[in-house]
Amino acid sequence: MQMLSSTQSETVGRILTEFKDRPGPLLEVLHAIQAALGHVPPGAVGLVADALNLSRADVHGVITFYHHFRTTPPGKHTVQVCRAESCQAVGGEALAQHARVRLGIDFHERTADGKFSLDPVYCLGNCACSPAVMIDGQLHGRVSPQRLDALLAEADTEEHRR
Amino acid sequence: MTANAVRPADRAAATRATTVFVPGDAGALSLGAEAVCLAIGAQAARRGLDVRLVRNGSRGAYWLEPLVEVVSGQGRIAYGPVSAADVPGLFDAGWLEGGAHALRVGDVETLPWFASQQRLTFERVGRIDPLSVADYVAHGGYQGLRRALALSPQSVVEAVTRSGLRGRGGAAFPTGIKWQTVLDQQASQKYVTCNADEGDSGTFSDRMLMEGDPFSLIEGMTIAAVATGATRGYIYLRAEYPHAHRILTGAIAGARAARYLGADVMGSGKRFDLEVRLGAGAYICGEETSMLESLEGRRGEVRVRPPLPAVKGLFGCPTIVNNVITLSTVPAILRHGADVYAGYGMGKSRGTLPIQLAGNIKRGGLVERAFGLTLRELLYEYGGGSASGRPIRAVQIGGPLGAYVPAAQFDTLVDYEALAGIGAMLGHGGIVAFDDSVDMARMARYAMEFCALESCGKCTPCRIGSTRGVELVERILAGEDPQRHVAKLEELCEVMVQGSLCGLGGMAPFPVQSALRHFREDFLART
Ligand SMILES: Cc1cc2nc3c(=O)[nH]c(=O)nc-3n(C[C@H](O)[C@H](O)[C@H](O)COP(=O)(O)O)c2cc1C
Ligand code: SF4
Ligand code: FES
Ligand code: FES
């Protein structure tokens, strides 16, 4: 298992101090770690388990149960394409296929240059404007393949996105 | 909601400014509302015009978003769909005075689409600044809580029971009865939890409500607390809703600062406070016992019932679990009266339902109406038919576990019992339209895939059955002995329905069975 860097363990330590005495804190801790480090490094599991009086298996079990948590770093830009029914009804699957081809990766993968990761999502609550895509936390509606290309190009050039 | 939006405190200084509403709703933002807002600010500055920008919720007319409303001498005039590039032309047309322009919609509330709705739960959504306590109170907010605080807890519960309100999260269980169970428990700690996991495809009313009128949810939860003796609340919000998260967090802070939350709610001496906890992308966590496990920081594995959450819920304490829309409707019930609310609707479906039109539909969005209108009215009069212009072949109602309803049954009424009567369910009120290019065997495969992906793994019929279901539909899609594989698929569905512990495995077969019942040709005639 990869060891944490010293800044990473500091971050995890700070998060644990902040959350450990709250009721049922594990999900909150994992969210905070992922928000700070981009993912939940396997090397953090032991620290989290010790601080919260859980077994490593408990912590690992929670990380793997939830689709949201990733154990490897994401791309610089995260692309989520909705694959649920409302988006399927207006070309969502063709859009998903286009995203794969355009980025040259499958879902749950990251491009070799580390720029993009592609993930499926099952409804973004934007079903009146399907098909929907979320890029770096920004929601987009009625996304055609051409529009997706433009959004990806924009993400690639624009460095400071909210 | 953003840096240069003027808050009510600054209003006195800004009385001569023209108020312009630009939705901060995630759906409107997904169509460019932020760029529109920035363009309006920039153009106004360039022209030396005094404009007060307010980020409201969405009216729910998504085909018109970004829908900008200008408070002019002629009243509140809407323009849409507006792009940033349209903004200079709109100023040239004198839109701050309601001037004529190709995008001028007029007063939204006089559009037949809006005027024919019965907005009770969504009364304020799109009308107000969602983060302003003052705006909320000026539009009837906190009257329900005030009334609740003047009543005994038992009387509040009775009002909710008398209103006929049933859970809007899907199961349609009478809300008052659930609250009564929690009220009847002797316990030193009770909780109110709000299920804001909104995982169903085709649904977004929770999101719109939280983004457009978060105080109504906060007030509803506070009334639930007052009625049952709970002192702490949690909103379990799906991680896919970052916009709603920001707005809820801001609104909770605002309610606390104005003492609508905290140690002395509205000077009553009663304590109630709440916080938002984020989910992590698991559909099953919308199931209430799985949600409670997740709130406690564990894997979202479904709990065996009994005990009910109302008896032994969060951290082992009596707990209310209600959907966002259920809770946000309670203030209106207390304010207008239980009998007024119960006066809407039909049969055992009382009140109104915020219905969501999605998928292949021309005018997608939110329609709040009393129970009892037909699917056809929704799809054609409100929805305008399919977006593609082709015939609507099927609709899926109630999310990924809901049945597909064929066009021949579009005269069915929107009513819990009427839909159950045709083997469908209303669920959270989402309706997803598909035109005649849909392949129902593929939709059946998706239903099984989704169940396999989201199964919590606790019971075999769901965990193994769904994977087996995907394999069977694959065979059918490949044209391999379809008769035999369809028969096997039907048997499998029956096993899942009968043998699953919770609604995921128990209802995932519904879309499959309904597709087989109404669209059998899609399964048998594969080439
Ligand atoms: C698989 C599954 C998913 C569910 N997802 C949700 C959901 O996302 N939101 C929700 O409010 N209820 C959901 N429910 C229903 C809840 O279990 C529960 O009935 C509801 O939250 C109770 O609130 P209500 O009475 O106000 O509807 C789901 C149920 C099942 C079986
Ligand atoms: S039916 Fe599926 S989701 Fe529900 S308890 Fe069983 S395995 Fe878990
Ligand atoms: S189904 Fe794609 S946003 Fe809801
Ligand atoms: S109010 Fe902030 S950009 Fe419009």
Q: Is A87 on the interface with B (CB under 8 A)?
A: yes
Other Cβ atoms within 10 Å of B442 Cβ, number: 15
Same domain, A101 and A146: yes
Does the domain made of B440-524 have the CATH classification 1.10.275.10? Answer: no
Contacts of B434 in chain A (CB under 8 A): 89
Domain count, chain A: 2
Contact A61 B299 (CB under 8 A): yes
Contacts of A68 in chain B (CB under 8 A): 239, 279-282
DSSP string, B310-339: TTS-GGGS-EEEEEHHHHHHHHHHHHH-HH
The runs of H, that is alpha helices, within B373-481 are: 375-376, 416-421, 440-454, 460-477
Assess if residue A49 is contained within a domain: yes
Same domain, A141 and A88: yes
DSSP string, B132-165: -HHHHHHTTTTHHHHHHHHS-HHHHHHHHHHHT-
One CATH from 1.10.8.60, 3.30.360.10, 3.40.640.10, 3.40.30.10 for B8-109: 3.40.30.10
Residue nearest to atom 1 of ligand 2 (CA): B505
The answer to whether residue A4 scores a pLDDT higher than 60 is yes
pLDDT of residue B251: 98
Q: Domain limits at A45?
A: 6-65
Q: What are phi and psi of B462, to 5 degrees?
A: -80, -50
pLDDT of residue B281: 96
Same domain, A18 and A91: no
The bound ligand whose nearest atom lies closest to the alpha carbon of B466 is 2
8 Å CB contact between B333 and B145: no
Same domain, A144 and A93: yes
Give the pLDDT band of residue A2 (cuts 50, 70, 90): confident
Token representation of residue B238: 């799906």
pLDDT of residue A161: 46
pLDDT of residue A1: 61
pLDDT of residue B526: 78
Enumerate the β-bridge partners of residue B125.
none
pLDDT of residue B10: 47
d(CA B215, CA B235): 13
Same domain, A10 and A58: yes
pLDDT lower than 70: segments of chain B: 1-15, 527
8 Å CB contact between B280 and B163: no
Assess if residue A70 is contained within a domain: no
8 Å CB contact between A71 and A42: yes
Assess if residue A151 is contained within a domain: yes
Give the pLDDT band of residue A132 (cuts 50, 70, 90): very high
Name the class of domain B133-342: alpha beta
> In the listed set A65, A89, A114, which residue is the last one of a domain according to the structure?
A65
pLDDT of residue B15: 62
DSSP string, B206-247: HHHHHHH-HHHHHHHHHHHHHHHT--EEEEEE-TT-HHHHHH
Name the class of domain B345-435: alpha beta
pLDDT of residue B4: 43
**The overall pTM is greater than 0.90:** yes
Residues 89-148 of A with CB under 8 A from B: 89-90, 121-130, 132, 134, 137-142
Helix A56-65 and helix A26-37, axial crossing angle in degrees, nearest 10: 70
d(CA B41, CA B52): 9
Residue-range domain boundaries for chain B: 8-109, 133-342, 345-435, 440-524
